[in-house]
Structure 1
Amino acid sequence: MKTNKNTVLKAGAAPFAVALALVSAPAFAQQAAPQADAATETNEPTAIVVTGSLIRNPNLVQATPVNVTTADQIALKQSNTAEEVLRQVPGIVPNIGSAVNNGNGGSSYVDLRGLGSNRNIVLLDGQRIVPADLQGRVDLNNIPLALISRVDSLTGAAVTTYGADAITGVVNFVTKKDFAGVDLAVSDQLTEQGDGNYFRADVTTGVNFDDGRGNAVLSLGYQKSNAVYQGARDFSNIQLDSFSGTAGGSGTTAPSRFSINGGNRQIDPTTGFLKTTGGFNAFNFNPYNIFQTPFQRFNIFAQANYQLSDAVEVYTRGLFSKNTVKTIIAPSGLFAERMTIPFSNPYLPDGAASQFCAANGLTDAQCVAARAATDPTDPNYRTFNTVVRRRFVETGTRNSQFTTNVFDYSLGFRGALTKTVNWDVRASYGESDRLQTITGYVLKSRVQDALLATSRTECLSQNDGCVPINLFGPAGSITPQQAAYTLSPSTTANNTSLLQVRGLLSGDFGFTVPTASEPVGFAAGAEYRKYKAVQISDTLSKTPGELGGAGGAAPDINGAYSVWESYGELVAPLVSDKPFFKSLTVEGGVRYSKYSVQGGKKTETWTYKVGGSWEPVDQLKLRGNYSRAVRAPNIAELFTPNTTGLTNLGQDPCSGDKPLKSDVLKAVCLAQGAPANSIGQIQDPTAAQANITTGGNLNLNPEKATTYTVGAVVQGLSFLPGFSASVDYYNIKVTDQIGTPLPADLISACFGNLTAASATDPACTIIRRDPSTGGLDGSPATTKGLFGGLTNQGKLFTDGVDVILNYQRPIGAVKWTLNAVANFTFHSKFKATPSGFDRECVGYYSVNCSFTGSIQPRRTWSVQNTFSFKAMDLSLLWRHQSSAKQEPCNAVEPCTTRAFNGTIPADSGALSGQAVNFGKIDSFDYLDVTTRFNVEQFTLTFTVQNLFNTKPPIVGNTIGSTAYNSGNTFPSSYDALGRRFAIGARVKF
């Protein structure tokens, strides 16, 4: 058996090696593999394994709790991406992934414990890989799932092992090692309704060479998925307002709406007049949106190792992935854009012209003359300004294509320095290039050119291709030629890179504590990381308001920072094989980090951990750890210039007649930029989306966090052979949180106490309204909306319990295997400012409780029962999610914003007449069934996901954030696709 390779660790043996397992790719992880991969035999005692597989389970042998998802579980579920695997792990809150359409930036992320996807680290074989965005997050779409042996999710106590920024923990994808042979796999999935096809094919080949001194593995993969439209499901084809229960939609609609006399009026194409009331026909955008984003990926993963000598081994790894994610949302248009229109516009109806003339103080004679003046040099030529809301249904959907190319290469050397000390030196470099190409977005400047026309055949600007446009007719009045002129593709490119170098010494000191049998172990190391990130946008993308419905400009960003780190860890076995002390071990670690920000300041931080485990008897282990962590601000948080985008806000305190009833409120609304004639007519943000201005801050300090876990492991019971269980409590508290207050917090800071409110209060005057309509939505060029600057004022907190059960026993000729994982989350709190509201979000949903991801239930569990008989396996996977309800009334969000509870009115499609309560979601259960046949080297797998075709809860489309509350439900948390069938075939030889 070769030195430092394929070493099996028994429970209670080599405790330091186990504790440091994830520092340098654990020994048990390196050798663990499916049966076909095991080629090296040892004389070591049998190691603790996950029942039903040969994947070694670190949760049972180390002090830090780890949740393990095995390759066999992934295969039985027929999961296609790493994000899909993690989305259904209890304790992980769904983040951006394939179920997020409006808000998906082309990558998928993991969010451990619901504290944000930027507060955990994603590793591949214990090593960082290049991030995909300016926030330093790893895109899960690039993980080579075909070669994954298991997925370890570790909570807390990872700061000295992996880096100071592992606040909530790490997710480590462990690949198969020393693979030899060929593995061909192909699968295909389809929903019961015949859409959402998902095809995947992988080939993996490996070889041992030079009498086993070396091994090389190459894995190639391809996958492609199709869109599932919300219009193809009866519960989502009509957008429902969460607070009225009526069929709603966007105020950017067709026919057009125009601002006049401080209000907004929709034109009536049959009469040519603007309606005299504020009513309008909302645009139903749901049918255009999708539940599953189209995805295509080509990936290559290769790794090799070679024993150069008895003391030196070289190892290398290369990853390349090209993936394409597409998002599809409803048609573009003018989303409250201020436009200039001549009274002589050829498409302006006489009725509307007379209304605009009166609103602009023109006499009848002046109006007639202005209508006839077609030459700007004519003294009678006049124009008027108005805010236009018009959905360009004629241009089709808004489409974004995110094409990402990633490569990440690593080279290292390791070996034995002495009989008890090993060394490991490695370096890696990776780059991620993502190009966003958007089409179907109308250009504000071109629409303005086309509106200035005084002839139906020629534009005044004489711009190439300009065609006068008709914004005054019904949907369909914009001709193909007119529509074509308004469109032009636009691009934004993101490039990130990560250079890292690391050196590590690990082993033991060669001596033991007198009462122990194992030596005191140690690890000491240093590493250097250099992050760079650039965002480059074309002129269209970085011009505020130019792209109709793009949600804000994409500014150019260029930033970098580096970090030097050194660290050390100790594990000291104190007692071994004594009465009530089968083992007692303590451990500790410390890490020093020095950050240097390009153009900014240098920061030094210290993090540490202490922990230990006690085995009073063979069958019981008690464990616990405590750590102090920090998270330095990422490139986006440091370098992004102030930019106006979108946030979610359902109700505006200045809307309707509320300002007319309070002089204080009226004064505040006026101080925020609302014109006087808009008071009493201001409308709530269309589609519950308001403008917000945010940006980076070079003066940010690192976040601080304290985490601890305590738990117990039970295994090896004589009366229950094959059983193991662990129960762990976790507690994570983040202070000096880098973030911005939630929309409700920003509103409450000004409007929370009207008796004390002041029109000169900075919390009020920093909110800037549309200068024409007074609303909080509108063109980002003129309406800055709320202001959410990044600060270190926030606090985050979560705690809960994880339970893991494994059991295996024969029932006659059948082998029964049980794997169960449960999470019970007690709290998930966010306090934006020291004087702000301490918001609790476990089991609740609202716009504000979507600050990091989708819904976080109080209880989730996953129970898999697999029955194996000869060449056949039958697996049943039960997934449970506890009930949820709308965030309760509090000091920030008054009870007037309660969800609809009643009967859905008519004209709401298949949901008409149903009794609903949008403020409550019952508990949900899903059952997946898999049948697998194994015939020699051939495996055939049939899976039915969501066997009972359980439909998602209906809560309307405006009660949560746009990213996660879509299609009248929360598609990241609940299955919106329905029953799906998957078939997979695999050949090994």
Structure 2
Amino acid sequence: MTSFIEKGPAARKWIAVSALAMSVALATPAVAQTQQPPIGAATPDPAAEPAGVPQPAAPVAETAQEQAPANAADIIVTGSRVKRNGYKAPTPETVVSAQDLASNAPANVADFVNDLPQLAGSATPRAATTTVSSGTAGSNFLNLRGLGASRTLVLLDGRRVVGSSVEGLVDANTLPSALISRVDIVTGGASAAYGSDAVAGVVNFVLDTRFTGVKLEVQSGISTYGDDRKSKVEAAVGKSFAGGRGHIIVSGSYTDTAGVSRADSRPWFNGAKIIANPAFVAGGTQPRLILADNVNTANASFGGLITSGVLAGTQFGEGGSIGRRVFGTPAGAMYTIGGERQDLAAFYSLEAPVEQITAFGRVSFEIATGFELFGEFNYGRGLAKPQSAYNWAFGNVRIQQDNAFLDPTLRTRLLAAGQTSFLLGTFNPDLGRFTSRNERELTRYVGGLKGDLGGGWTADAYGQYGKTAFDTSVSNLQIRSRYALAVDAVRNAAGQIVCRSTLTNPTDGCVPYNVFGSGVNTPEAIAYSAGTARLKLDLEQTVGAVTVQGEPFSTWAGPVSVAFGGEYRKEKVSGTSDAISQANDFFAGNYKPTNGSYDLGEGFGEVVVPIARDLPFAQSADLNGAVRYTHYSTSGGVTTWKVGATYNPVRDIRLRFTRSRDIRAPNLNDLYLGGVQSIGQTVIDRGVSTGNIVATTIGNQALDPERADTLTAGVVLAPTFLPGFTVSFDYYDIKIADAILTPSTQAVVNYCNAGNTAVCNLITRNAAGVITAITRSPINLARERSKGFDIEASYNGEIAPDARITVRALATHVIERSLNDGISVDQLGGENSVNPPGGSIADWRVNGSVGLAVGPYTAVFTGRYTSSGVYDRAFTAADLADNRIGDAVYFDLATSIKFKGVGGGGEFFFNVDNLFNRDPVIVAPINQPFFNAPVNALLYDTIGREFRAGVRVKF
């Protein structure tokens, strides 16, 4: 790939229970254990643990500061703005430690985070790679609860990062992975603490800003099929200066993933599709849909297939060779079951090739006692070049009998039958596969001041500016108007092959294109009929904020802690696109520039009030409340709030509860999308099918923020009779009102016909009342709900003087995930297909691991489980005979050995993902089955066994 040098169903649900039970079974008094303090007590310094011992990530029960040394200063946990030593926020939180990341040695941090059960439907380089025109291929956008990435707030050290998409989504690939000390995942509403977008929760990447020394990691990997090569190099340097008053850290990383460009490179590819049942008859016994393997297109072939007249079934191959198509069993006009492989889905990309570079620098200096000035610079540049399908034509290219490229023998047969033309279907191989080039360059500057105001009061203020420059293009796109002229090739009076249009307009520049076969066109012909769609966008984010924390007074139960402050933020997008896209003349990727901005001002406050300490049946109890008022330039004012409580009846048990009002404000794409146009849409209008409709999607500046009411309630157990063991259970219920939804073309018609007159304004009809055009625009219409619970259990203990075992299991169960669009309620939970909005919400997701460290040797064995599901909960046997999608479990193995060296030490590691090379569960596509592979990368492993090996050193 181009370098940066160029600028320009074997397991069942019992596994879920077994994984949790295993952690309990192993945590027995018969094992020599390391004493773990009860909840609320100080946590031992992890540095005191024996070298080479894998430390379990803090369970959901524990917050970030419990991983810090006992003598650490006050720190702010991600679930709260309050700075208070030993404070545990009532909001559930999972922490991924640096040791977790090191043991797994992922190619990028997001790969590990996305394996956590709380995340579902995240966009990754393995998901949605066929959406060539989105400009986001190769990105990692985190998605908590499957509520959509736009409802997950991603932070870096508690601060926002400029988006890597017009929706404002943060690409985790751009963050400085070499310096990450932990990742805090708050799985509850946090808008009162952090503002818009924290509806599902917050993922906060926390950096080690006091790192000292040098560390380096180099790794390389490959799949068991010899492809998807990965390489990674990252380094960090940190040093104090000026007698310890100053500190500087610098880090950089480079990663290169080759990707997998074809689905048929894997043995599991079987061409499975869900299509209309040709045997279906209304009132009959056959379902309306069937799921079949080896389904191929019936009205097109790679190099061209004649689909009408006396020549029907004739197809063309390499160099224009002529043959007969071997069909299977007909399944409507579009498909054939069996026969020879002619399937666009074979070209579905399993993983996008991505090249990424990041750089980070930070300097801090104590300008006076208790006052620190700091500055940060963040740079990230990503280049993804995924390929997708070809410029397909399914039996709709009209070829005249006098076409100059037509074989004379075929022409003779055509004329003898009295035919003057025929229809042809082709993948247009000579035009090439759609190839995206998505380049994103992020720069971010932060400057701030932290100070001790005295009397236990502290303050910090910062300002930041971030910009992401997008240069997105899709090449090998058919230019429709030119292609229509070029395929109509004839001979002029001199016997030369020209476009028919050139006979009457000699200067039109048309270059004839041969549709009969592959490898039959000149570069000039290809260059005329195909081109490159291009979009350039600049996203800018400006933030200024100040926060003050302190303890103004105390009650008999302890000090009351407060935090308050204000924030200003501005978001802006500006862009340009090419002229052909503006005219909607490309086969796909007709970009439109998006331009607009908004700003907002916020004020917030939070308080923690202790109400009990060291009482019978109340070892401790705290109340927590927060409120934030935000005024948007686009939609006015809105208030968010949170109330919560933690209660320890005894030292071994903690109860926690939160209730919050959260929001997601419309993003730049919701408000200002310039327009995306689709041609030839079909809808059912009052029982009549109407086609050839032009559908245009635009932004809506009249949108209001979404409102979410969130409830969480949980219990954390750390029994003193089982030292080293902790388990937590947390229930959540998120209800979203005025959810922003962009209805489909059919939904727009349905809304209008149901009496929604405002939506009727989006429909254009001709004089006969027939729909000719529909405008799609996001509206505050839907209601959504997500309800379920999380379980986490962990154990950490010694089994010998120089041996330690760690066990951890995390599980998420979805009770309800629904979408109410005003007409119907879609139950999405357990729909493991790729079609649900928000994408694929499995009923159960479980991640369990067992780690063993003996001297310098460490091994961690991990299992990842996804429960079975269905294609659509609304389906009955009358829709699809087999609606089930199987479950899956994958196992990973991570091993390492430590060594000592001059001035430091390091470790070699060797990891295997998908150890037993389990194939993904086949998930037959329903939406565009001719185009999509039978797989769901959001839930299942699509690549197969992968090996990674490397070394990391520190001195």
> Contact (CA 8 Å) 2:101, 2:109: kept in 1 or not?
no
Aligned pairs (5 A) from 1:964-975: 966-975=932-941
1:442 aligns with 2:444: no
1:898 aligns with 2:880: yes
CA distance in 2, matches of 1:355, 1:417: 94
> Contact (CA 8 Å) 2:358, 2:379: kept in 1 or not?
yes
Percent identity (aligned): 27
1:119 aligns with 2:107: no
TM-superposed deviation, 1:789:
3.0
Change in Cα spacing, 1:175 to 1:222, as seen in structure 2 (3 Å) is same
1:804 aligns with 2:807: no
User: Which of these residues, 857, 863, 874, is aligned with residue 859 of structure 2?
Assistant: 874
1:132 aligns with 2:118: no
> Contact (CA 8 Å) 2:39, 2:652: kept in 1 or not?
no
TM-superposed deviation, 1:220:
1.0
Letter in 1 for 2:736: V
TM-superposed deviation, 1:214:
2.0
TM-superposed deviation, 1:61:
2.6
The structure with more strand, counted as a fraction of residues: 2
Cα deviations by residue, 1:246-274 (Å, 9 ceiling, x for unpaired) = 4234556456579999xx9877676999x
* Counterpart residue number, 2:942: 976
CA distance in 1, matches of 2:73, 2:601: 39
TM-superposed deviation, 1:972:
2.7
How many correspondences in the alignment? 847
* Counterpart residue number, 2:25: none
Change in Cα spacing, 1:238 to 1:886, as seen in structure 2 (3 Å) is closer
Change in Cα spacing, 1:338 to 1:279, as seen in structure 2 (3 Å) is closer
CA distance in 2, matches of 1:830, 1:43: 45
1:303 aligns with 2:365: no
Letter in 2 for 1:639: Y
Letter in 2 for 1:875: V
Task: Give the gaps of 5 or more residues in structure 1.
Answer: 1-8, 16-26, 50-55, 372-383, 675-689, 752-756, 775-781, 902-918
CA distance in 1, matches of 2:397, 2:508: 23
Change in Cα spacing, 1:692 to 1:722, as seen in structure 2 (3 Å) is farther
Change in Cα spacing, 1:555 to 1:13, as seen in structure 2 (3 Å) is same
CA distance in 2, matches of 1:732, 1:608: 14
TM-superposed deviation, 1:940:
0.6
1:234 aligns with 2:267: yes
TM-superposed deviation, 1:692:
5.2
Q: Which moved more, 1:621-630 or 1:387-396?
A: 387-396
TM-superposed deviation, 1:280:
7.1
* Counterpart residue number, 1:839: 826
TM-superposed deviation, 1:387:
8.8
1:821 aligns with 2:810: yes
TM-superposed deviation, 1:310:
1.0
1:931 aligns with 2:895: yes
Change in Cα spacing, 1:253 to 1:43, as seen in structure 2 (3 Å) is closer
User: Which of these residues, 732, 747, 751, is aligned with residue 734 of structure 2?
Assistant: 732
Change in Cα spacing, 1:182 to 1:847, as seen in structure 2 (3 Å) is closer
User: Which of these residues, 397, 403, 418, is aligned with residue 439 of structure 2?
Assistant: 403
User: Which of these residues, 85, 99, 109, is aligned with residue 126 of structure 2?
Assistant: 99
User: Which of these residues, 785, 790, 795, is aligned with residue 783 of structure 2?
Assistant: 795
TM-superposed deviation, 1:946:
1.0
* Counterpart residue number, 1:948: 916
* Counterpart residue number, 1:620: 653
> Contact (CA 8 Å) 1:205, 1:217: kept in 2 or not?
yes
Change in Cα spacing, 1:350 to 1:301, as seen in structure 2 (3 Å) is same
CA distance in 1, matches of 2:781, 2:593: 27
CA distance in 2, matches of 1:179, 1:197: 31
Aligned pairs (5 A) from 1:467-478: 467-471=511-515, 473-475=516-518, 477-478=520-521
> Which structure's relative contact order is higher, taking Cα pairs within 8 Å and 6+ residues apart?
2
Aligned pairs (5 A) from 1:406-805: 406-455=442-491, 456-459=496-499, 460=502, 461-462=505-506, 466-471=510-515, 473-475=516-518, 477-478=520-521, 481-509=524-552, 511-514=553-556, 516=557, 518-544=558-584, 546-548=585-587, 550=588, 552-597=589-634, 602-645=635-678, 665=687, 668-669=688-689, 672-673=690-691, 693-715=696-718, 717-741=719-743, 788-805=776-793
1:315 aligns with 2:371: no
TM-superposed deviation, 1:314:
1.0
Change in Cα spacing, 1:621 to 1:31, as seen in structure 2 (3 Å) is closer
Aligned pairs (5 A) from 1:21-170: 42=71, 61-100=88-127, 101-103=129-131, 105-106=136-137, 107-170=139-202
Q: Which moved more, 1:251-260 or 1:823-832?
A: 251-260
**Structure 1 length as normaliser, TM-score?**
0.78
Say which SS state the counterpart of residue 118 (structure 1) adopts: helix
Cα deviations by residue, 1:681-731 (Å, 9 ceiling, x for unpaired) = xxxxxxxxx98542211111111110111111222x321111222211111
Change in Cα spacing, 1:961 to 1:418, as seen in structure 2 (3 Å) is farther
> Contact (CA 8 Å) 1:31, 1:177: kept in 2 or not?
no
CA distance in 2, matches of 1:419, 1:693: 60
TM-superposed deviation, 1:62:
2.1
CA distance in 1, matches of 2:649, 2:102: 38
Cα deviations by residue, 1:632-653 (Å, 9 ceiling, x for unpaired) = 2111111124432499x9xx88
TM-superposed deviation, 1:118:
0.6
TM-superposed deviation, 1:141:
1.7
Say which SS state the counterpart of residue 488 (structure 1) adopts: strand
> Contact (CA 8 Å) 2:306, 2:315: kept in 1 or not?
no
CA distance in 2, matches of 1:793, 1:590: 26
TM-superposed deviation, 1:540:
2.5
> Contact (CA 8 Å) 1:114, 1:852: kept in 2 or not?
yes
* Counterpart residue number, 1:194: 226
Letter in 2 for 1:248: V
> Contact (CA 8 Å) 1:846, 1:960: kept in 2 or not?
no
Say which SS state the counterpart of residue 227 (structure 1) adopts: coil
Letter in 1 for 2:830: G
Letter in 1 for 2:898: N
Change in Cα spacing, 1:216 to 1:487, as seen in structure 2 (3 Å) is same
Say which SS state the counterpart of residue 83 (structure 1) adopts: helix
Say which SS state the counterpart of residue 857 (structure 1) adopts: coil
> Contact (CA 8 Å) 2:683, 2:691: kept in 1 or not?
no
> Contact (CA 8 Å) 2:864, 2:889: kept in 1 or not?
yes
> Contact (CA 8 Å) 1:297, 1:323: kept in 2 or not?
yes
CA distance in 2, matches of 1:310, 1:358: 99
1:889 aligns with 2:936: no
TM-superposed deviation, 1:576:
1.4
CA distance in 1, matches of 2:847, 2:806: 14
User: Which of these residues, 391, 395, 398, is aligned with residue 427 of structure 2?
Assistant: 391
> Contact (CA 8 Å) 1:846, 1:961: kept in 2 or not?
no
CA distance in 1, matches of 2:462, 2:74: 31
CA distance in 1, matches of 2:274, 2:307: 24
> Contact (CA 8 Å) 1:32, 1:149: kept in 2 or not?
no
Change in Cα spacing, 1:769 to 1:46, as seen in structure 2 (3 Å) is closer
CA distance in 1, matches of 2:519, 2:760: 42
> Contact (CA 8 Å) 1:219, 1:300: kept in 2 or not?
yes
Letter in 2 for 1:814: A
1:245 aligns with 2:292: yes
User: Which of these residues, 220, 223, 248, is aligned with residue 216 of structure 1?
Assistant: 248
Aligned pairs (5 A) from 1:258-297: 278=333, 283-297=342-356
CA distance in 2, matches of 1:927, 1:59: 36
Change in Cα spacing, 1:132 to 1:707, as seen in structure 2 (3 Å) is same
* Counterpart residue number, 2:4: none
Letter in 1 for 2:229: N
CA distance in 2, matches of 1:432, 1:763: 35
**Structure 2 length as normaliser, TM-score?**
0.80
Cα deviations by residue, 1:301-321 (Å, 9 ceiling, x for unpaired) = 112322111131112221101
Q: Which moved more, 1:521-530 or 1:141-150?
A: 141-150
Change in Cα spacing, 1:272 to 1:72, as seen in structure 2 (3 Å) is closer
